Structure 1
Amino acid sequence: MQHQNTTHSPLARGYVRTLRQQEELPLLRDHLLRLDPGSRHDRFNGFLDDSFIEHYAAKCADDGTVIIAYFEGGVVRGAAELHPSDQSPDALPEIAFSVEASVRRQGVGSILFKKLIVEARAKGYHSLRITTGAQNHAMRALANKFGAHLAFSHGESTGSIDLKQQRQPELARLAFATAIDAARAMMNFNRMYWKLLLRMYGWGRTA
């Protein structure tokens, strides 16, 4: 299946789409397991073993978490997570990000952040909660870029993002592009399905 390059970055070469919860769970899990020790520490604010990662990914598939993934070569190399508001102590939906070392410094984090904001606004959210380790300077810089106000406490930086202050024209264009990309992906899937079906039954073969 072919996908439009939806990254809007001169460096990133992949595409972004939302994962289907149950059947694509292994894609998120495998991405998180591939994170190097430093990235895993930054993402989960500690050095955590593989069993924790597997349990965490399974929970995301069951609790309504929205996963927006960045693909390169058919492999998830980055992910943005939008967790339901009922899981947060302050009733704000919480967000999290992870990007593998091989695709860093290519604008992937910004791409994922923009797509996540579009998704959050579509769900009617007005604010988002973000928590990151105090040493995760890249994540803190990215959050600040999108208007987060972070406060340091107990080894973490925690803050919120006011979606009402995000630039509307840019988000509207991104939402439109996302819808177009989804429709194109579905058309490509249908085309591939019918070609496979015709081949199975011997239709469409040249004499």
Structure 2
Amino acid sequence: MGYPGDFLSRPKYGLDRHDRPGVEASPAPATPSAPSWLANWVPIRALAKRHRPRILAHLLALDPSDRYLRFGYPASDAQIEQYVQKLDFDRDEVFGIFNRRLELIAIAHLAYQAPQQVKGQPAMVEFGVSVSKSARGRGYGARLFNRAVMQARNRQVETLYIHALSENTAMLKIARKAGATVVRDGSESEAWLKLPPDTLATHFEALLETQAAEMDYRFKLNARRFDAWLQALSEVKANIAPHRPSSS
């Protein structure tokens, strides 16, 4: 899947190769195989209750236009705080991308057991995402979308549902490229993506991604602590220097 751009999506319900016959295939180059996610890998880490302050900081930093795309209305600080407090980490899945300062620069929310969106069909998991303006153009939105698809498949969900403003063309383009059915109704659009069943490969890939992202987070955390220790040491040296007795 290509990455035409980063995007934000809103929760509607408060959550928020074909072989050619007769043609002999060329032999594959003798290079070691690797999982598809390994190329240009981005660490995506599962978030928990303890991350509420960082999630809130990320969403509050969105400008008015981005808030409008994410929530479907110009959400105030109070409304965003209420949304973050209502996040159900036991039922839903929230995951994000941290920068080197351990700031969340992109967040995705998979809301399970959402109210039924289509009469006669079972409830579908709903996907919402936001990317900080400073982190745009790196394909983070699309990567979070791919991660959401894998997570939903592994939980044996049949359909991924997206509700977005029709002007959010970047997100709708990604949904269409994934094979989603997009229906536009004036200023709003809905997309349904039929998901294939989970496989041993999807579960193994999810496990590898989770462990690698955790290692990446711990590395950044230790680096931050080491930097803080060096800064404190330099401050101590700076305070001691003026009080050293001068040699006669």
TM-score if structure 1 supplies the norm length? 0.75
Asked which structure has the greater RCO (Cα within 8 Å, sep 6+), the reply is 2
Rate the CA distance shift 1:98–1:159 in 2: closer, same or farther, 3 A. same
Deviation at 1:67, TM superposition (A): 0.6
Letter in 2 for 1:32: L
Percent identical among aligned pairs is: 26
Deviation at 1:154, TM superposition (A): 4.5
Deviation at 1:187, TM superposition (A): 8.2
Rate the CA distance shift 1:34–1:122 in 2: closer, same or farther, 3 A. same
Matched, 1:34 2:65: no
User: Where does residue 3 of structure 1 map in the other structure?
Assistant: none
Could you tell me how far apart the structure 1 residues matched to 2:83 and 2:90 are? Answer: 11
TM-score if structure 2 supplies the norm length? 0.63
Aligned 8 A contact 2:96 2:105 in 1? yes
3-state SS in 2 of match to 1:85: coil
Letter in 2 for 1:9: N
Aligned 8 A contact 2:106 2:140 in 1? yes
Unaligned runs of 5+ residues in structure 1 are: 1-5, 193-207
Letter in 1 for 2:78: S
Root-mean-square deviation (CA, aligned residues, Å) is 3.1
Could you tell me how far apart the structure 1 residues matched to 2:56 and 2:218 are? Answer: 28
Could you tell me how far apart the structure 2 residues matched to 1:58 and 1:108 are? Answer: 25
Q: Which structure shows the higher helix fraction?
A: 1
Rate the CA distance shift 1:113–1:7 in 2: closer, same or farther, 3 A. farther
Could you tell me how far apart the structure 2 residues matched to 1:7 and 1:95 are? Answer: 24
Letter in 1 for 2:40: S
User: Where does residue 94 of structure 1 map in the other structure?
Assistant: 126
1:26-175 aligned at under 5 Å gives the runs: 26-61=53-88, 64-72=91-99, 73-90=101-118, 91-164=123-196, 171=202, 174-175=205-206
In our comparison, the structure showing a higher alpha carbon Rg is: 2
3-state SS in 2 of match to 1:60: coil
Unaligned runs of 5+ residues in structure 2 are: 1-36, 224-248
1:128-179 Cα distance to aligned partner (Å, 9 max, x none): 111001111121122222222111114211021111189x798567424314
Aligned length: 181
Letter in 2 for 1:118: M
